[in-house]
Structure 1
Amino acid sequence: MRLGIQVSVPALNGDFRIPPDIVGLIILEAQPPLYGTLPNVSSDEAASQGSSRSKVDPRIVSDAILGLSDGLTVPFALSAGLSALGETKVVVLGGLAELAAGAISMGLGGYVGAKSEEESYNTTVREVDELVKQKPGEAHAIVRKTFKSYGLSESIISEICASLRGSPNRLRDFLIAFHHKQSKQPGNRAYISAITLALGYFIGGFIPLIPYFCVSQVIDAFYASAGVMAITLLVFGYAKTCIVRGWRGRDNIVAGLESGVQMCLVGGIAAGAAIGLVRMIDAGSH
């Protein structure tokens, strides 16, 4: 009986696929069970389960959380510190200047980081391509070593090697995906990462400044900003944890609440430190 299972691995020229019969034997013989550990395992059951999951790129979610996390903390601490000077205009102008500089810095950091990952992947491709062309025996030895860790029998490993032996490109793609565990990123990854981080930082950092636009007295604006940020940090800390862990279940809810409280504490400590530092510097200048 042929097993209707395929393993799809990100490749340079289309998807790499292992014959279904071999994949079935791999899954059945692997110790510990291999199903769910091979990159992008697809089947009718997996497809039906995957249709109910979010299709948002996890990297975008990660960048958005990172940008918001920094944006909700640093500008809030700065605006709280500047409020100690007693002038709303100073808080607004200083906060906006920090927002612009911080967003640009975060965006550039995301762009450079994504470009570094892209270069790392390209370097791996060149090294593996050279290995496959010049030392095919060593490449097949790596394939054997990779699957031996799953407790597969020698006959199954030999079938896999035989399937890969006829195509250097498939062997190269196999080693990149299974041995090096890398995949080719979209060409616009660096730009998306930069924009996501910058927007996340700017949006998160603009929230604590809103009360200063609406309230004339700086002390009242500070208290309003602190109240808004306490709620925002609590909600954000809860949401960012539950996005990863899940929204249901007592453990997930408790973990989300703990994360929310931690975010509030971090924001409060940062704001308190900024206020104390500004007052100390201001007192020393007189």
Structure 2
Amino acid sequence: MALLFLKQKLFPGRPPQSTQPSYRKLLLATGEDDDSDTLTNGNGSMDHDMEAQQCRSYRTFRAPSPSSNYDAESTSSNTRSRINPRIVSDAILGLSDGLTVPFALSAGLSALGNTKVVVLGGLAELAAGAISMGLGGYVGAKSEAESYQTTIRETTELIDSSPAETAGIVHDIFAAHGVPDDAIAPINASLHASPDRLREFLIHFHHKESEPDCNQAWTSAITLALGYFIGGFIPLIPYFVVQKVFVALYCSVAVMAVTLLVFGYIKTGVVRGWVGKENILAGVRGGIQMVVVGGVAAGAAIGLVRLINGDS
């Protein structure tokens, strides 16, 4: 004890060494620094070099490694990945028309009192309607692609013929967002130094168009056609099972009421979201709206067929 007391008085700067192994690490030290600054004494105990620890810059969190950056980017990209909104829009449009138009037709044909007529007429309308919807989607997507190519051609001609006008357009785009003129000038010069970059900028921010997918025409055609056929086949199912036409009609009405309600709710949930009281109420309203639309269409078809058949 006396020797320890004298040692502390003579060497106050050095702390007394513990006879027990010390495996304690500083709370904020990184694992790499711990390995490089650890010394082993003759007794086998682990003591940190205090001077190296004082010079060390501690960090509460480790610096991300390249692999962790890659994982974070891939994870964030996966969480942000969503279905193409154009596909969702085409599917909703195809199902909406398929659930209402063939249902109204089958309900109207039921007034004739012949199940075979309802089935044949419904299948014929399904085939014609699906082909028509598919062709409409294909032609519409092709028109969008042609419009985009026309925009590229006109923008290229504008860049070649009137640099002053393109400079004014770029200036107006940034000035509308409150960017000062002294900051717009170098940006304008940088864009005009590359015609390709200037053309891309004008297409995206002036014309507000984006390059369509090369397969968008076929995707829209198939999505619309399948959506229409699937939606229109549902009200015909009872007519394949039940022989009496009016019983099949009532079954079809019940099936379509549930289907339209569910579809309206799902359609609204896809567009607005699923969580929250407002979204749930909006989904219920969307389902009721689809039921009302389908019911009005079916009632109008039945009344029209009865009116024409009665007159004949």
Q: Same fold (TM over 0.5)?
A: yes
Partner Cα separation in structure 1 for residue 116 and residue 80 of structure 2: 46
1:242-253 matches, cutoff 5 A: 242-253=269-280
Alpha-carbon offset, residue 51 of structure 1: 2.9
Partner of 2:286: 259
Asked if 1:229 corresponds to 2:260, the answer is no
Residue in structure 1 matching 2:305, options 272, 278, 286: 278
Partner Cα separation in structure 1 for residue 186 and residue 284 of structure 2: 51
Alpha-carbon offset, residue 156 of structure 1: 2.2
Residue in structure 1 matching 2:139, options 100, 109, 112: 112
Sequence identity of aligned pairs in percent?
67
Partner of 1:125: 152
Alpha-carbon offset, residue 277 of structure 1: 0.9
Structure 1 SS opposite 2:274? coil
Alpha-carbon offset, residue 132 of structure 1: 0.9
Partner of 2:124: 97
The one-letter amino acid paired with 1:278 is: V
Partner of 1:195: 222
1:49-64 matches, cutoff 5 A: 51-64=78-91
Partner Cα separation in structure 2 for residue 104 and residue 146 of structure 1: 43
Partner of 1:81: 108
The one-letter amino acid paired with 1:209 is: L
Alpha-carbon offset, residue 136 of structure 1: 1.5
Alpha-carbon offset, residue 111 of structure 1: 1.1
Alpha-carbon offset, residue 159 of structure 1: 2.6
Alpha-carbon offset, residue 143 of structure 1: 0.7
The one-letter amino acid paired with 1:235 is: V
Alpha-carbon offset, residue 195 of structure 1: 1.0
Partner Cα separation in structure 2 for residue 124 and residue 213 of structure 1: 51
The one-letter amino acid paired with 1:65 is: I
Partner of 2:192: 165
Partner Cα separation in structure 1 for residue 81 and residue 299 of structure 2: 38
User: Which one has more relative contact order, counting CA pairs under 8 Å at least 6 apart?
Assistant: 1
Residue in structure 1 matching 2:267, options 231, 240, 263: 240
Asked if 1:153 corresponds to 2:142, the answer is no
Q: Which stretch shifts more, 129-138 or 87-96?
A: 129-138
Unpaired runs of 5+ in structure 2? 1-70
Partner Cα separation in structure 1 for residue 144 and residue 202 of structure 2: 18
Alpha-carbon offset, residue 47 of structure 1: 7.8
Note the alpha carbon deviations across 1:137-173, whole angstroms, 9 max, x for none. Answer: 2112101101111111122212321221210110001
Query: In the comparison of the two structures, how many residue pairs are matched?
Result: 242
Partner of 2:206: 179
Alpha-carbon offset, residue 272 of structure 1: 0.6
Structure 1 SS opposite 2:79? coil
The one-letter amino acid paired with 1:143 is: V
Q: 1:189 to 1:175 in 2, by over 3 A?
A: same
Give the structure-1-normalised TM-score. 0.81
Q: 1:105 to 1:255 in 2, by over 3 A?
A: same
Q: Which stretch shifts more, 58-67 or 211-220?
A: 211-220
Partner Cα separation in structure 2 for residue 152 and residue 97 of structure 1: 60
Unpaired runs of 5+ in structure 1? 1-43
Structure 2 SS opposite 1:52? helix
Larger radius of gyration: 2
Partner of 1:32: none
The one-letter amino acid paired with 2:110 is: S
Partner Cα separation in structure 1 for residue 115 and residue 183 of structure 2: 72
Q: Which stretch shifts more, 153-162 or 220-229?
A: 153-162
Alpha-carbon offset, residue 115 of structure 1: 1.2
Asked if 1:220 corresponds to 2:231, the answer is no
Give the structure-2-normalised TM-score. 0.75
Alpha-carbon offset, residue 240 of structure 1: 0.8
Q: CA RMSD in A?
A: 1.6
Q: 1:251 to 1:47 in 2, by over 3 A?
A: farther
Partner Cα separation in structure 2 for residue 166 and residue 70 of structure 1: 50
